[in-house]
Every structure is written in C-alpha cells, then in structure tokens.
Amino acid sequence: MRMFRFAVVLMVLALIAAIVPATLAQDTSLGLSEGDATLLETAITNSSQYSQLSFDYTGDFNITGIPDSSDVSVSFTGSGAVNGEAEAFELTISGQATAEGQTSPFELELRVIGDMFYINLGPAFGGWLGGNVNEMMDLSSAMGGDLLPVDPSTLQDPEAMNEAMGQLMEMPGMMEGLTALSTLDPADFISQSRADAAGLAEFSTTLSFGDLMATSEMQQFMTAMAQAAASQDSSSMEGFDPAMLPMIAQLLSDSTLTVVQKVDPATELIAGAGLNLAMNLDPAVIGETGTPIVVGLTTDIDISGYGEAVDIVAPESYQDIAEMMNAMSS
C-alpha cells in the first residue's frame, strides 16, 4: 500500500507540474488580452525579485450538508512576514470555529528561522514549542511514517528515491498515466479574466474540476490509476476501491478553484491575492439520494512592505517538541 500511496503522490505532483507552468506563462488562450497577460507576468516577475515583504489576510471555511452532522464554519484573520535574507518567516492566525453547535476561539503563531521552527498554540497548550526541522522530519518518519502517504526520510534519500521511482515505473499503467498528464491542455479547463477594483487590476484564474475530469487525458489518468491499484496485493489495498475513481470525477463536476492576483498598475507589483474554493458534491450525479455537501473556502491577502526588512526572532524560551514526543512515546 505504501508504494501505491507514493504513486498517488507522484501522480498529483505530475498533475500540478502539467497545470502550473502553462498557467504562469499567462497564455492569452486562457482568456486574457495580450496587454493584460503582459501586465500580470511583469508584476509576478517584479514581485519575485523581493525577498522581504509583509502581509495581512482574512478567510472563511464552511461545510454544509454533512450526513448525520451539523454544519461547520471557521473564520480567521492573521498577518505575517517574510525575510528571505535572514531565512525567516512568521505567521499569526486567530479566529473561531463552529461545529456541532459549539463555537470555540483559536489562535496560533508560527516562526521559522533557518533550520528551526517555533509554534505557539496558546496558553492551553503550554506556550511556545520548537525544534529543528530536520530532526522533526526524522522523528515523524520514525513515529508515524506508515501513516503518511510518503515516508519523509525517503524524500531526503536520493538512493531510496531512485529505487522507489524504478518500482513505480514497473507498475501497470503508471507510464501511460504520467504521459497522459504531460499532454494536458490547460485551456480545456482553466480560464482567466480581469476586473478592476479600488485602483487594482484583479486577475482571476479559475480551474473547473468538472472540465478537467472530462478531458481524455484525465480519463486515461484514472484508468492508469485503476490498473496500478489492481496490480497491488488485495490485502494491501484495503480501504481503496478503484471503481470509486469515476464516481469521484462525477462528484467534482460542479466544483471550481479560483485564484485571484491583484496587481497595482502604478508599481507593477502584486498587491494582494485571494483564493476561492467552491465544491458542490451532489450525490444525485452518481444516482444516489441525499443532500449535497457544499464546501467553501475563501481567503483574501493584502501584501505590502516590499523590500522592507522585518525582524523575526526566536521566542525567549520554548519546549523542545522532539524531546516532548520522545518522552510521550516512551
């Protein structure tokens, strides 16, 4: 099962690799005029030259229609900063979550400085926790590697990666699936448009999951995944039914993901961004009865302070996560 899960991760990465480059290239066939495509591409290029910036954000996450459960809603706000010269990053988030009729506040602060990371979940969790990123990767591999789709230690071992890739390519359908993904045409399922608001040019890139799943390349991809799953030992595939793949594709037929990039025409920099995930999982499309499950996620980010350094420092004291987890496991 581990090898098949690794194959799934590889396929997803291949899908992303097939979609993202063409989208970032701002191909006018996706709906933008040549002038708009140039403005967006210029802003992305200019903004990427800066290694220091700050940002503020808000967001909402909602799920309705969950069988035998109440609706779930989460609202949050936060801020953060990046200091690439110091190899540092910080993020704060606070908000409230409502589930089963109960509303609970939450807060989190994260800092990454070089190879060290620190997280504060509030006084109820003992304040600041911290540790070395590499040590945590090793610890997660030792304590929970079998629960993850890919053993983190494998990703850091070139020899293990080569061996895993060799085994993957021998799985029936794997090569055909990767080849199919490499020939995807983003214009079949991605569209771009421009709107102007508050002096900013807002470029929206929308991915239609329904259109993506309807492409012949994705159909071939799902066939390849089913063949790869069928080649595995039945006992190792417990909990996975290849026959579910076409049903999943149908359920996603009315779902979209929209990414918004806000450009300041005066500075030709990215002034903000947003994300809107809208999923309508209607059981009727697969011949089942029941209430549609509707998932919505929206975020809005304002970016400022390009080139302005933010001092990101480690907390004065913290509890070592690795030591804590080792003590708990023993």
Measure CA 194 to chain center: 24
Per DSSP, the residues of 186-226 read: GGGTEEEEEEEETTEEEEEEEEEHHHHHHSHHHHHHHHHHH
Q: Is 301 helix (H, G, I), strand (E, B) or coil?
A: strand
* Amino acid at site 282: D
Which domain range does residue 298 map to?
2-329
* Amino acid at site 298: T
Q: Whole-angstrom Cα distance, residue 264 to residue 13? A: 32
Tell me the HSE value of 94 on the side-chain side, using a 13 A CA sphere: 4
Which tokens is 39 given?
A: 């403005």
pLDDT at 1: 46
Nearest to 57 by CA among 201, 262, 264, 309: 262
pLDDT at 221: 80
* Amino acid at site 294: V
Q: Which residues of the chain have pLDDT under 50?
A: 1-2, 22, 26, 144-145, 147, 236-237
Q: What domain count does the chain have? A: 1
Which tokens is 68 given?
A: 């035998």
DSSP single-letter state for residue 239 = T
Q: Is there a contact between 283 and 289 (Cβ–Cβ < 8 Å)?
A: yes
Q: Whole-angstrom Cα distance, residue 59 to residue 46? A: 26
Which tokens is 115 given?
A: 């190879």
pLDDT at 147: 47
Q: Whole-angstrom Cα distance, residue 164 to residue 144? A: 19
Residue appearing with tokens 């594709």:
249
pLDDT digits (tens, 9 = 90+) for 281-329: 888 887 888 889 999 999 999 999 999 999 999 999 998 887 777 766 6
